[in-house]
Amino acid sequence: MRQFVVLAHELSASASIGLGDLPGTGRLDLLCRCVTSALLVSHDVREDARIDLVIDGYVVRFDGGSVRRLNPDERSTAALIRDALAERSEAVGAIPATVSPGVSVRRGDLEGTLERLDGTLVELHAEGRPIAEEKPPADPVFVLSDHRDLTDAEAGLLSARADRRASLGPRALHADQAITVAHNYLDTDGFGRY
């Protein structure tokens, strides 16, 4: 299983989400691209992948193994996120509410999300070792931020729990681009054999 966690810093769970201005709605455009990068390839879904969007005390999960009707464009994915957030009051305690096949919402933050995830936590960091220097773990978890840096608290939490610290290259990438590169690293057994 490949897992991605993306932290949204500007989107409110109670935001009024129109679909005409996604960047102006807490950079929802960026979150949508992350979902596409995490779960879709050409004419296919990555069934062994899932992505958690941590949004203002809630976690919207897209699971590649069960998602249906996921298209690559930003707008249709934004509608799915909007619908998930609209159902957030249905999520009681730690129990997620399923919104549509493969899409759910639950209460949660970064700390709770990391506690729930099994796997090798890879911290992507500009000062990490080039990721190609080590072979991929079997069940990696990558945590990414939106267009804003991690807060000090988030960065501290991640550093404390990370199993590896790695860098994807010399350029700081968009979160969705980082997901695409991470998938390619995994697909090719560390940019090598396949």
User: Which is nearest to 164 in space by CA: 115, 122, 117, 118?
Assistant: 122
Q: From the CB of residue 22, how many other CB atoms can be counted at a distance below 10 Å?
A: 21
Instruction: Report 33-52 residues binding a second copy (CB under 8 A).
Output: 33, 36-37, 40-44, 46
Query: Closer CB to a second copy, residue 59 or residue 178?
Result: 178
User: Which is nearest to 28 in space by CA: 66, 65, 56?
Assistant: 56
Count interface residues toward a second copy (CB under 8 A).
41
Interface residue with a second copy, options 45, 72, 83, 107 (CB under 8 A): 72
Q: How far apart are CA 174 and CA 148, in angstroms?
A: 10
Instruction: Report 117-146 residues binding a second copy (CB under 8 A).
Output: 130, 132
Nearest distance, CB of residue 130 and a second copy, angstroms: 7
| Type of residue found at 190 | G
Q: From the CB of residue 137, how many other CB atoms can be counted at a distance below 10 Å?
A: 15
* Site for a second copy, rule CB under 8 A: 20, 22-23, 29-30, 33, 36-37, 40-44, 46, 71-76, 130, 132, 147, 168-174, 177, 180-181, 183-184, 187-188, 191-194
